[in-house]
Amino acid sequence: MLWWCVGNYRVRFFASFLLPILLATAIVSRPPVLHPALARLEHNTVLPASRSEISDQARAVETTQPQLKLATKQAQQATPDAPKEVAQQTSEAPAIGTQNLPPGTATQQSQQATSAAAEGAAGTSLYTVNKGESVESIARRYLSQTSFMTEGELASAIRLANGGNLGKSLHAGQQVIIPGVESAPIVEQPVLIPKNLEVRGIYLTGWTAGSEKGLELIRQWREGGGNTVVFDAKDFDGLVNVPFSHPLVPNQPHVLIHNLPKFARFLHGLGLHAIARIALFRDEFLLTQHPELAVRSRSSGRPWRENGKLVWTDPSRPEVQEYNLALARMVAKSGVDEIQFDYVRFPAEGDQRDAKFVFESAHPDWERSDVISDFLARVYKELHPLGVLVSLDVFGVMAWQRQVDLDHTGQDIPAMAQYCDVLSPMIYPSHFFGMDGYRTPGDAPEHFIGESMDRFREITAETGVVLRPWLQAFAWRTPSYSPAYVRIQVSVAKNKGGIGFLFWNARNDYTKVFPAMAEMRSKPGQFFRGDHVRTGATQSPAKEPASRQPS
C-alpha cells in the first residue's frame, strides 16, 4: 500500500512538473518546418527572360506559377472596362510585428518563433492581422512588394500558402504567411530590338493591363502569334495609369499598373515587346488641376474649348511639354522597350480662329508644325540614349498632305519622321468619311489601307523611318468587319511596305482578331514574317537627331 502511494505520487509529480518541462524543451529545440505549400511558392518568383529562352518561357508560364490557376479562372469572367473613378489603392506594406499582444505571453513567444522561421524562408513574410482586415485587403497592401501581378493572384496565393485554411474574415492577432515577397525593388531594363522588327501588337487600356483578365488576354495574344503589347501609361483624358509624381500633379489618383518594372518584366518573360503609350496634349485631367495651362480664347481670355469641352492643354507651353517629357523619362527608365506618343498635335476641331497659343508671341515666325517638331527633337534626344525606341501615332488623313489639316494639327509628317524610329499612321478605313468618293469607307479597306501606305511611304522615303500602321479592330461604320476584314488589312499593309502592325479596339475586344491570326499563321510568309522578340537582339544604330531650326 505504501509503495502504491509513493509510486502514485511519483507519477503525479512527473505528470504535473517534469512532463511540461520536457515537452517545452522538445518544442523549442525542434527545427522550424516550412509549410509544404509555402515551400512550393517561394521559388515561383517571375524572373527576367533568359537571353536565349524566350520561346520556352511562353510555354512555361502556367507550370512555373501553379498558384495562378485559380486567378486565371477568375480572370476569364472579368470585364475589360471600369469606371474612371477607380480610387488609387495604397501599396505600402505594413510592418511585421506582435505589438497587439500582451508582452511575454506564450502566444507572443510562439508568434516570434514562427516569424523567425518564416522570415528565414526566402520570398516570404509573416504578417499579424489587424482588426477588420481580410485576405483581399492584405493582398492589396502587399501587392507592390511581391512577384504577383494582381491582387486576386496574390490573395489566392496567400490562401494556398496558409494551407487553404483562411476564411472570409480574419481575427486580430492571427498570423498570415505572405508568399512571393521581393527581396529588393524590381529593376527591369529595355530589351533592345531593331526598329524594323515585325511587330504584331494589340492595344490595352490601363484598366485592362492592370487586371487579371488583361493578363490572361496578354497570354492568349502571345500564344496566338502576337509579339507586342501596347498599353496606356497615360490615356487620352490625361489620367496617368502608372505611379508618377510631378510638381504639377504630386499624387496621381488613377494608378492601375502599380509596379511598372514588374509589368515590363512580365511582358519580357513572355517574349513580348513592351510599348508604353502616352497621350500628350489632350489632357483634361491636367486642366482640372491647372486650368491656366489650357489653350486660351482670343475673344474672352478664358480657357478655350473644343466643341464645348475643356480638354486641350497648350502644346507650346513649356510647363506642359516638361510634364509630358518627365513622364516619358520615368517610363523609359522602368524597363519598357518603346515609348509611343499619341495626340502629338494641336486641336483639330472647334473654333480655330479663336484659339490662342503661347508660341504665337514667343516665336511669332513659327507655325504649329514648328512647335511639334521642336518638341519632338528634344524628346528624341533625351529618350533614345535610354535604350528605348520612339514611335509616333499620326492621323491617317495626313498622308494626303492637305494644307488645312497641316495648319490645324501641326503634323508635318516628313519633319516628324526625323525624330522617331517608327511612325504609326492610324489608317482605320471607317475614319476616312468623305474621302475619295466612298459613301461607306469602312467597307473599302483595300483602297484606304493601300492608298494611305503608298502616300506615307512616298513622303517619308528619305527619312529612314519604319512604317508600322494601326489597323482597325472594331465594327464602327463597317458592316463587313470580320476575321476576313482583318486579314485584308494586314495583307494590304504588308504588300504596301508596312513592317508589322498594331490592332486598335478601344474596349480591347479582339474576338475577330484571334481567328484571323490563326488563319494567317497557317500560311507562313503570306501575311507576316513571324519575327520573334529575342532578348539577345541588338538595336539598330540610333539615328542622330537632325539639328533643325524651326522656320
Cα(112)–Cα(104) distance, integer angstroms? 11
SS3 of 206-268: the string is HHHHCCHHHHHHHHHHHHCCCCEEEEEEECCCCCECCCCCECCECCCCCCCCCCHHHHHHHHH
Helix (H, G, I), strand (E, B) or coil at 137: helix
Give me the half-sphere count of Cα atoms (radius 13 Å) on the Cβ side of residue 246.
23
- Cβ atoms of residues 319 and 358 within 8 Å: no
Looking at residue 123, what DSSP letter applies? T
- Cβ atoms of residues 286 and 323 within 8 Å: yes
Name the β-bridge partners of 390. 339
Q: Over its length of 551 residues, how does the chain's per-residue pLDDT go in tens digits? A: 434 433 444 434 444 444 444 434 443 333 333 333 223 232 222 223 332 332 322 322 232 333 333 333 333 333 333 322 222 222 223 333 323 333 333 333 333 433 333 333 348 999 999 999 999 999 999 998 999 999 999 999 999 999 988 887 899 999 999 999 999 999 999 999 999 999 999 999 999 999 999 999 999 999 999 999 999 999 999 999 999 999 999 988 989 999 999 999 999 999 999 999 999 999 999 999 999 999 999 999 999 999 999 999 999 999 999 999 999 999 999 999 999 999 999 999 999 999 999 999 999 999 999 999 999 999 999 999 999 999 999 999 999 999 999 999 999 999 999 999 999 999 999 999 989 999 999 999 999 999 999 999 999 999 999 999 999 999 999 999 999 999 999 999 999 999 999 999 999 999 999 999 999 999 999 999 999 997 543 333 333 333 333 32
How far is CA 415 from each of CA 382, 423, 502, rounded to the nearest angstrom?
18, 12, 23
Give the DSSP H or E segment for 44.
none
How far is CA 542 from each of CA 51, 288, 418, rounded to the nearest angstrom?
22, 38, 12
- Cβ atoms of residues 349 and 307 within 8 Å: yes
CB proximity list for 383: less than 8 A, separation 6 or greater: 328, 329, 332, 339, 390
- Cell reading at 128: 499579424
Q: What is the predicted pLDDT for the residue at 535?
A: 58
Q: What is the predicted pLDDT for the residue at 191?
A: 96
DSSP H helical ranges for 76-167:
106-120, 135-142, 151-161
Name the nearest CA neighbour of 148 among 134, 160, 165, 130. 160
Parallel/antiparallel/unpaired status of strands 124-128 and 175-179: antiparallel
- CATH top-level class for 200-281+316-521? alpha beta
CB proximity list for 63: less than 8 A, separation 6 or greater: none
Instruction: Report DSSP letters for 390-413, one per residue.
Output: EEEEEEGGGGG--HHHHHHH---H
Q: What is the domain partition of the chain in residue ranges?
A: 36-42+49-179, 200-281+316-521
Q: Is the pTM of this model over 0.85?
A: no
Q: What is the predicted pLDDT for the residue at 19?
A: 42
- Where do we find the cell 506615307? 456
- Cell reading at 26: 522538445
Q: What is the predicted pLDDT for the residue at 432?
A: 97
Q: What is the predicted pLDDT for the residue at 85?
A: 28
